[in-house]
Structure 1
Amino acid sequence: MGLEQETEMTREETDALLSRHETGVLSLASDDDPYAIPISYGYDADERQFYMRLVSTPDSKKREFLSGSPTVRLVVYEEAGRTYRSVVVSGVLDPIARDEITPEHVEQYGDAKRPLFEIWGDARKDLDIQLYVLRPETISGRRIELDRDQ
C-alpha cells in the first residue's frame, strides 16, 4: 500500500474547483447542536463570494439555524482517479432582503443552479425562499494524491 501525498491548493486551484461545481455541504451550529445540509450555490471567483437560495418550511430545523447571520462552513469536494480535492470555506451567511436585490445579485443568483435538493411536500405558499450571500473569512483547499501502487 502506497503513501498519500497531501498538498495545499493555491488560490487559483481552489477558485477553479469552486467554479466548476455547483453543490456542497453547508454546516451550521447552534451551541453544541450541529446541522449540515446539501446545497446548490453560485460562485463569483472575482469577489470570492457564494450566492445561495435556501428554502425552508415554517417549523423546519433549517429555518431555526438560519436565523440572523450565522457563521457557517461550506465543504465542496471531488475525486478524480487517484486525486482527491476538497475546499473548506468559513464565513458569515447574510440574508439578502428582497428590496435590497441589485442587478448584480440577479446575475449571480442566475448562476446558482436551481437547488438540486428541493423536494417539498408542503404547499408553495408555506415555503420561505431566502437569498443569501456567503462572504468567506477563510478558504482553504487540500489535494491528496494517492501513490500509484494503490
Structure 2
Amino acid sequence: MTADEMTDEEVDAFLRERGSGVLALTDGAESYAIPESFGYDGDALYFQLVYDEGSRKMALVESTGVATFTAYTETPAASVVARGPLDVVSDGDAPRASEALAENGTVPTLNVSTETPPSELAFDYYRLTPADLTGRVFGSAFEGGTER
C-alpha cells in the first residue's frame, strides 16, 4: 500500500470532518494516549477535558511540553497528526473553543470515571496549537471526504 502526503487543504477538510481521535501526553518517562473529542477552527484543535480529582490525565497535561493528536479513518485509510503545546483556554476564548467543538466534535459520554459521579467531574477547555501538522493517505486518497 502506498502513502501520499495530504495537501494543506486536504488536512483542513479532514480535521473539519472528524470529531474524535487520540491525544498522546507524556511526563518525559511515561506516555499516556486517550481518545478525545475535538473541534477544529482552521488554526487550532480544541478539547473539553473532563476529569476528577487526582486525574492521571490532568497530571500529564501539566507535564507535557508537546502533545500529539492523531485523527484517522480506516476507509479510506488516512490520518492527520498534530503536534504542539496544549494550553488551557482562557475564559475570553471559551466561546471560540465551544463553537469549534459544536461544529465537529463528537459528544462523548460523561461517565469517564467508574467511581466518580458526573456531578463531581470538572470540565476545562484546552487548545492544541499545531507547530507541526501533517496528513497521509494510504491507497485511495482522501480529498474533502471523497476519493481523489
Distance in 2 between residues matched to 1:117 and 1:124, nearest whole Å: 10
Q: Percent identity?
A: 30
CA contact (8 A) 2:16 2:104 kept: no
Residue 118 (1) aligns with residue 110 (2): yes
The equivalent residue for 1:75 is: 70
Structure 1 residues 92-146: Cα deviation after superposition (integer angstroms, max 9, x where no partner): 1110233x34543443343353642532441334312111111100101111117
Amino acid at match of 1:37: I
Distance in 2 between residues matched to 1:102 and 1:61, nearest whole Å: 24
Residue 56 (1) aligns with residue 48 (2): no
Distance in 1 between residues matched to 2:22 and 2:90, nearest whole Å: 23
Residue 31 (1) aligns with residue 23 (2): no
1:132 to 119, 126, 132: 126
Contiguous gaps of at least 5 residues in structure 2? 141-148
Normalising to structure 2: TM-score of the pair?
0.82
Distance in 1 between residues matched to 2:67 and 2:109, nearest whole Å: 19
Contiguous gaps of at least 5 residues in structure 1? none
Structure 1 residues 27-79: Cα deviation after superposition (integer angstroms, max 9, x where no partner): 0000110001000011112xx21111000111121121122674200001112
Instruction: Mark the structure with the bigger radius of gyration.
Output: 1
More strand by share: 1
Aligned residues: 138
Q: CA RMSD in A?
A: 2.1
1:13 to 10, 13, 36: 10
Normalising to structure 1: TM-score of the pair?
0.81
